[in-house]
Structures are given as structure tokens and as C-alpha cells.
């Protein structure tokens, strides 16, 4: 079953219902530049009207997310303020279940007060229907390959408000299960091994094979929480001088370096194919990202086409062991990800 959010304006949104796990995406192309200086422009509003036609279950909440903004806007739904964006370079969360109607108006407003910097939305805005029955945090996913057999290890903390069944699925097939009862559940680990799978290989060694991994929480009636990954089972180890062994086979990639200027175009929503073309793909086997964060779009692209991706951490992250550990934990499930720069 699908629920459609109809929007007027340049945003696109779709709510899908897959057994109860629903999410919408509302994209804002790029940032909204500040058009005035001093007192010439004292306030800038971003307004969008949308119709909400989906029905919430009793144990669901409708949540608005605002990602990466300049200028710290105040957020309003149907004239009622939700407060200011809490972290300009993070993702702010607003629960809007009691405010949403059939026809709605979303406003992000910046009070300039003589400031001169740019304002706008860089990351995006989206809605999510979230369950009140369970919260799952800090999912740590690991995949590995030994010969032709794969293994999956997923660990996380969760809070259950009822009897919830947790399942781990690989390409739609259940490979591990866990039951969470009411209350806090800390240190949950779900492990499956001896999986007969096709390994992911970089382009130099053959076409990549990707698999869909799903962590799912459900009641006897329906799915109440779900997260999906596109993963590859491979073992890549560095052997010095930028050479690697991938699934037991030698590989010495030809690297290209992508800097902040080229990555900025990805962050603003430009198609990844503007950065690399077919001629580029014939020359290089991997990408080194230098000094900036790696956007998910680039990771997904490398997974899809079979490129390796090596990241050189910026100085502030290189000095912060916790940030470095968190970064690796977030990205290591990507098939393309390899270690090997001066930080490892």
C-alpha cells in the first residue's frame, strides 16, 4: 500500500507503507541564498504547502527532520512554532503529529537582524512515520567473508515498549532473530554465519555483487521499525604501498583524489555522474577523498559501480579518536570502503 503526500512547489514527497514502516522524502535543491544586506531584508521565509492524506496508527508519530541549515531558522507548522533548528550542521527532529491536518503549511523563517551571511537548507527536509513502540540506536553493522561463506554481526541498543520481535534478513530471508520485551535492552547482538553468498569484488577483479540486509522490528500485526542496507561481503586488507588483497586476490588500485570543491557539488544535490564519466571509470579503480566528510551518495555510487573508496581524515577528525571510531563504524558496511591512509 502507498500513501502519497501532494506538494505544491519544487519539493517531491512520497510516503510508502511496507507493513507499517513508512517514510517520506522532501528534497530542497541546494541552499537559499540571502538576497539583502543590513536592514534591506530583515526576514526570509521558506514556505511550502502540502496535503497529508496518510493515516497514523495509534502507536505512531509523524516526525519532521531538517538537515544542515545556514542561519538557524525557526520552524513553523500551520502557524505554530516548533522552535529553532538546534544544530546548524546536524539534523533537527520535530514531532508534528498533533499539528498536521489534511492541508498544511510548513515555514522556515530567518530573522536577519542586520546579519549578512547566507541562509538556507543544504541537506534537505523529510517526514518520517515512526513507531512509539521501539527505539533502536547506534546500530553497528559488520560483514565479512571467509572463502565462499559470509557472516553478519549487528549490535545495537534499543528501548522496547511492548513485546517486539526483531529479525535480521538477507535478501528477504531471515538469518537471525531476537525478542525484545518491554523496557531497556542494552547490547543486543544478532549474528549469522556460514551464509552462502556471492562476494563483492572491485571492478579490477570482476563485477560487484550487492546484497540487501534488513533489520526489522514487528508486532504480531505489522512491522513497526525497519532499516535497510546494501552490503557486500568481502575481506580487504592492506599490504603496503597502497596495495590490497581483496577476497584473497592481489589488487593495486589506480587512485584518483576528490577534494572539497568536487564533493560540494554532491552535497548540493548535483548528480554524481557529473564527477566521473565513462572515460574516468576506465582509468581509475578507486577514489581517495581528501580532508572532507564522505557523503552517502558517493559511498552508494562506489558500491554500485565497484570502485574502492579510501578516506583521508581531516586534521580535526584525525586528532579526535572518538570521531574517527564513529566514522568507521558508520561506513564500514559499505562494500567499497577500505582502510589504509595515514590514520590507520
Q: Does position 83 have pLDDT exceeding 90, yes or no?
A: yes
Q: Give Dmax over CA atoms of the chain in angstroms.
A: 67
Q: What is the pLDDT of residues 190-204, one digit of tens each?
A: 999 999 999 999 988
Which pLDDT belongs to residue 319? 52
pLDDT in tens, 43-66: 777 887 777 777 788 888 888 888
Q: What is the pLDDT of residue 343?
A: 35
pLDDT tens digit sequence for 167-179: 999 999 999 999 8
Mean pLDDT of 235-254: 85
| For residue 18, pLDDT beyond 70 | no
- By the 8 A CB rule, do 280 and 273 touch? no
Q: How confident is the model at residue 117 (pLDDT cuts 50, 70, 90)?
A: low
Q: How far apart are CA 189 and CA 177, in angstroms?
A: 10
C-alpha cell at 293: 566528510
Beta partners for 196? 149
The C-alpha atoms of residue 303 and residue 229 are separated, in whole angstroms, by 11
pTM exceeds 0.75, yes or no: no
Amino acid at each position: 500500500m502507498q500513501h502519497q503526500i501532494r506538494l505544491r512547489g519544487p519539493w517531491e514527497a512520497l510516503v510508502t507503507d511496507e507493513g507499517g514502516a513508512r517514510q517520506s522524502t522532501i528534497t530542497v535543491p541546494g541552499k537559499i541564498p540571502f538576497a539583502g544586506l543590513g536592514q534591506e531584508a530583515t526576514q526570509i521565509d521558506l514556505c511550502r504547502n502540502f496535503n497529508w492524506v496518510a493515516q497514523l496508527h495509534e502507536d505512531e508519530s509523524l516526525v519532521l527532520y531538517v538537515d544542515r541549515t545556514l542561519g538557524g531558522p525557526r520552524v513553523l507548522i500551520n502557524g505554530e512554532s516548533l522552535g529553532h533548528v538546534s544544530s546548524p550542521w546536524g539534523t533537527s527532529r520535530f514531532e508534528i503529529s498533533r499539528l498536521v491536518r489534511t492541508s498544511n503549511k510548513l515555514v522556515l523563517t530567518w530573522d536577519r537582524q542586520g546579519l549578512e551571511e547566507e541562509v538556507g537548507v543544504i541537506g534537505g527536509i523529510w517526514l518520517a512515520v515512526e513507531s512509539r513502540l521501539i527505539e533502536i540506536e547506534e546500530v553497528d553493522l559488520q560483514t565479512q567473508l571467509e572463502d565462499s561463506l559470509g557472516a553478519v554481526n549487528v549490535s545495537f541498543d534499543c528501548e522496547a515498549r511492548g513485546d517486539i520481535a526483531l529479525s535480521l534478513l538477507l535478501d528477504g530471508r531471515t538469518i537471525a532473530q531476537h525478542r525484545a520485551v518491554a523496557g531497556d535492552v542494552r547490547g543486543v547482538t544478532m549474528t549469522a554465519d556460514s551464509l552462502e553468498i556471492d562476494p563483492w569484488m572491485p571492478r579490477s577483479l570482476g563485477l560487484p555483487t550487492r546484497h540487501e540486509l534488513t533489520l526489522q522490528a514487528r508486532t504480531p500485526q505489522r512491522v513497526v521499525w525497519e532499516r535497510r542496507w546494501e552490503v557486500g561481503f568481502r575481506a580487504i586488507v592492506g599490504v603496503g604501498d597502497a596495495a590490497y588483497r581483496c577476497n584473497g586476490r592481489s589488487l593495486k588500485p589506480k587512485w584518483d583524489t576528490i577534494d572539497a570543491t568536487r564533493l560540494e557539488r554532491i552535497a548540493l544535490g548535483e548528480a554524481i555522474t557529473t564527477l566521473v564519466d565513462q572515460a574516468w571509470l576506465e582509468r581509475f579503480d578507486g577514489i581517495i577523498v581528501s580532508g572532507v566528510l564522505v557523503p552517502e551518495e558517493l559511498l552508494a555510487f562506489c558500491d554500485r559501480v565497484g570502485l574502492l573508496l579510501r578516506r583521508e581524515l581531516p586534521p580535526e577528525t584525525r586528532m579526535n579518536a572518538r570521531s574517527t571510531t564513529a566514522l568507521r563504524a558508520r561506513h564500514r558496511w559499505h562494500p567499497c570502503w577500505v582502510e589504509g591512509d595515514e590514520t590507520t
